[in-house]
Copies of this chain bind each other. A is one copy, B any other.
Amino acid sequence: MSNIDKKYQTNLSGELFALSLDPKAKPTLQAQLLEGLRRIIVSSRAYAGARLPASRMLAAELSVSRTTVQAAYDQLISEGYLITRRGSGTFVAKNVSHLTPPPSRPVSDQPMIKAWQPFQTGLPDTSLMPHAQWARHLDRAWRKPEPGLLARADSLGWYPLRMAISDHLATWRHLSCDPEQVIITSSAWESLEMIARAFIGEGKSVTIEDPCWHKTRDVLRMNRLHAQPTRIDRDGLDPARIRHGSAAAIVTPSRHYPTGRNLPMPRRISLLDWATQCGSLIIEDDYDSEFRYQGHPLPSLSGLDGLQHTLYLGSFSKLISTALRIGYLVVPKHLVGTARAYLERVGPRASLVPQPALAAFMQSGEFAVHLRRMRRIYSQRQSHLISELRVVDDLLEIQPDDAGMHLCLPFRPTLLQKTTDQDISSQARRSGLSVGALSAHCVLPNKPQALLLGYAGFAQEVLSKAVRVLEGLLRV
């Protein structure tokens, strides 16, 4: 061995012996050792060809087991970093000198966790999720996966989940459908995009409510459809005001977003008549109707229609967690084929990993128990928020809502003269509150002024504090 080789070998051993491993830390010793070895090996071209200390020796120096070291060596051999010469030991491969070391950082070094800001709307309290049950279902589903999970997946989603959703809809939303009609997606946006691309098509006009979830307008624009905003009145959308030539209408009949109004039965009937006469589609966005605090959930419009002209949009992000990224779309039987063709073209986005676990969570009845529990808690949070909001009763109209996850609070005249909901919203953001502005969801003139306060995701004491901050902003 040349002196140069010797020199680098010594340096290399020195560096390796200097590795500090923490038995108590994550990741495992094995993983720490691997990362350390890699970084050192690629840290200098000079190490190319240098011999590594015998595993026994390194193990002793680092006081880890010899197996741990040998395993690390083996892995790096397989990765092409190290080579073995029979009898003469383990060496750094010659051709890794052009490698650059992976940026070295502790696992803890990740960006600040962004907590949700109080009053954020559409947010469930994920800390109340029955994590142990959920984890058990994940473990069971994947420890010995059903053959179907390893075979060619149906691009419409995992069938047992589609069955569970169809049962859930029959029970909770009075919507009877065949599992074949249920399509698993990753989000409401993906569902709407599929509708725009596969069922409606570029250049068509689509009636939307005004106010309306702003993302709905955005997804239409991005897919080259013309949104026709139609101002709602106190009873929601008036079908008589739908403009001629609309290929579809996107509505929130059970709870208008974000005002929370219900579409009365006569309007539901005439909306269905409109769809029948014009051969148009109705897209029912039923985003949080499971959370109803008085009486039973209203039947869905799609249920009333028997899914002939209606598509039903649902999601678990508000019922379970935004981390799930599982939504669904229920379509008329004659559209299932089109949906399948579209999804086989662009590929499904929803991961299969949560799907069998979610199916089991629903079939076991644990999901219904969870919804019931959340309904109880959210209802208490709403009452608490309302009682706290008394202090600004002179500025905002405060009425209880019999459902949902947020309150919509119209400005009273005194406040109207002073400011706008979007001003309050941006001031609130600077004070760490995520207060929605009703006018931000409108495009038509004479935008109504109201604040949107989400309460479902936040504990009562958080809501109390937030109200005090909000009052400060309103009283300025």
Given contacts A75-B369, A372-B78, contact A153 B190 (CB under 8 A): no
> Is the CB of A363 closer than 8 A to any CB of chain B?
yes
- Residues of chain B within 8 A (CB-CB) of A337 are none
Which of A180-205 touch B at CB < 8 Å?
186-190, 197
Q: Which of A140-148, A256-264, A421-429 contacts B (4 or more CB under 8 A)?
A: A140-148
Please tell me the number of chain A residues within 8 Å of chain B, measured between CB atoms.
Answer: 104
CB of A126 within 8 A of CB of B114, answer no
Closest to A95 in B: B296
Q: Which of A56-64, A226-234, A350-358 contacts B (4 or more CB under 8 A)?
A: A350-358
Give the residue among A71, A142, A222, A348 with the most B Cβ atoms within 10 A: A142
Q: Which of B80, B135, B323 contacts A150 (CB 8 A)?
A: B323
CB of B163 within 8 A of CB of A107, answer yes
Q: Which of B139, B350, B363 contacts A31 (CB 8 A)?
A: B363
CB-defined interface of A96-112 with B at 8 Å, one 1/0 digit per residue? 00111111010100110
CB of A368 within 8 A of CB of B170, answer no
Given contacts A75-B368, A351-B353, contact A323 B187 (CB under 8 A): no
CB of A353 within 8 A of CB of B324, answer yes
> Is the CB of A244 closer than 8 A to any CB of chain B?
no
> Is the CB of A35 closer than 8 A to any CB of chain B?
yes
CB of A113 within 8 A of CB of B353, answer no
CB of A149 within 8 A of CB of B323, answer yes
Q: Which of B28, B110, B154 contacts A364 (CB 8 A)?
A: B28
CB of A323 within 8 A of CB of B349, answer no
> Is the CB of A91 closer than 8 A to any CB of chain B?
no
> Is the CB of A299 closer than 8 A to any CB of chain B?
yes
Given contacts A99-B174, A351-B325, A363-B27, contact A131 B143 (CB under 8 A): yes
> Is the CB of A322 closer than 8 A to any CB of chain B?
yes
CB of B364 within 8 A of CB of A30, answer yes
Given contacts A127-B150, A364-B28, contact A138 B142 (CB under 8 A): yes
With A and B bound together, what is the CA distance between A354 and B95 in angstroms?
35
| Nearest Cβ on chain B to A328's Cβ, whole angstroms | 14
> Is the CB of A66 closer than 8 A to any CB of chain B?
no
- Residues of chain B within 8 A (CB-CB) of A324 are 351-353
Given contacts A154-B111, A178-B103, A368-B79, contact A325 B296 (CB under 8 A): no
CB of B348 within 8 A of CB of A325, answer yes
Closest to A296 in B: B80
| Nearest Cβ on chain B to A254's Cβ, whole angstroms | 14
CB of B222 within 8 A of CB of A102, answer no
Closest 8 CB pairs of A and B: A102-B170, A80-B296, A323-B352, A351-B351, A135-B143, A139-B139, A110-B159, A100-B176
29 of the cross-chain contacts (CB-CB < 8 Å) are A30-B364, A34-B365, A80-B297, A81-B171, A102-B166, A102-B176, A103-B170, A103-B177, A107-B363, A110-B148, A110-B160, A113-B152, A114-B152, A114-B154, A115-B152, A132-B143, A135-B142, A138-B142, A186-B349, A186-B351, A189-B347, A197-B222, A323-B352, A323-B353, A324-B352, A325-B348, A325-B350, A349-B349, A351-B351
